[in-house]
Amino acid sequence: MTTYKGTVGTAVVNYAGDYPGAVEGELWYDSTNKDFKYQYPNVTSAGSWRTGNNMNTARAGLSSCGGTKDSALVAGGEPFTANTEEYDGTSWTEVANLNTARRSNSTVGTNTEAALSFGGNTPPNTTVAINESWNGSAWTEVGDLNAAGRARVGSGTYTAAIASGGGVPGGSNLRNAETWNGSAWTEVGDLNADHYYAAGTTYGTTTATLVFGGDPTLAITELWNGSAWTEVNDLNTGRRVLMGAGISTSGLAFGGYDGSAATGKTELWNGSSWTETTDMATARYEGGGAGATNGSAIAMGGPPGTSATEEWTAPVTSTVTFTAS
């Protein structure tokens, strides 16, 4: 006979009153009221995008990183630029430029301490493996990628990063993935699908990160566990040149090009599946995205060369308790 413990992996908790340690869907016995209870989250307000202050330099094809919507770094972009800017939640400030102007590069890390920017295109349309490290005040060239590529998905920090997918103009899409240990890049397991102009969880790690979407309107999502890529649940809307933020258990996908037009669609990743939520105020693609979770993120830039910024705040939930009888 099937039992609750056999199915869930734990016995029913006996607690006097509402059990404070209960997680979503967990059943417990309230010995005070002599009833079985369970709880689930109730959304009290939808997530929302709000307009932030514009960047100083309008651009598309830029790269970005940062932990929250109040702390971000952008570097490079089109038209080809080396311009770098920091965001403090209120305004953008120009700081030291990249050593090499480029577009479609990837940047990981934080704005005030340390970041890494790699790959991309240099004028007129040369794909590069250049890698630069940011110390909070200046960029320094460090060890190059093994495979040159543009629009690579970057996740991690300046001492532990992963570069995945991307492509070479006039050539093939890349399934290649490489990890950075603070001094050199090492090739690791290839992606299962071609993720060119894809996005990912920018605050991921070399042992846990997501890559999703891509050219032409890919919905495939892949999870990296430190040794191999595994296909998991697809995005609800396939698209290319989209933006992403978060970590492998709390991700955000937003914007992109769905094959016919720019989109503002936004999706939340909870560690196992995607859920559509509030659209961006302005549909955009080929911009930048940053944020450590799906609860606090920022989007900026995009064609035809915009400086516009939007800030994301997650839905607010409360816990509702129900009796099981």
173-194 confidence digits (pLDDT tens): 889 999 999 999 999 999 999 9
Write out pLDDT tens, residues 120-152: 999 999 999 999 999 999 999 999 999 999 999
Q: Which whole number is the average pLDDT over 153-171?
A: 91
Q: State how far the Cα of 203 lies from the Cα of 269, in Å rounded to an integer.
A: 14
- pLDDT category at 61 given cuts 50, 70, 90 is very high
Counting runs of H as helices and runs of E as strands, what totals does the chain give?
1, 30
Q: Tell me the pLDDT of the chain averaged across its residues.
A: 90
Average pLDDT on 307-317 reads 87
Q: Which domains does the chain have, with CATH numbers?
A: 4-44 (no CATH), 48-313 (2.120.10.80)
Distances (CA, A) of 75 to 48, 58, 82, 117, 125: 26, 12, 7, 8, 18
pLDDT of residue 34: 82
- At residue 296, what are phi and psi to the nearest 5 degrees? -150, 110
pLDDT above 70: residue 264: yes
Average the pLDDT over 246-251 and give the result. 93
Instruction: Determine contact, residues 278/265, Cβ cutoff 8 Å.
Output: no
Least trusted range by pLDDT, from 3-12, 89-98, 127-136, 291-300: 3-12
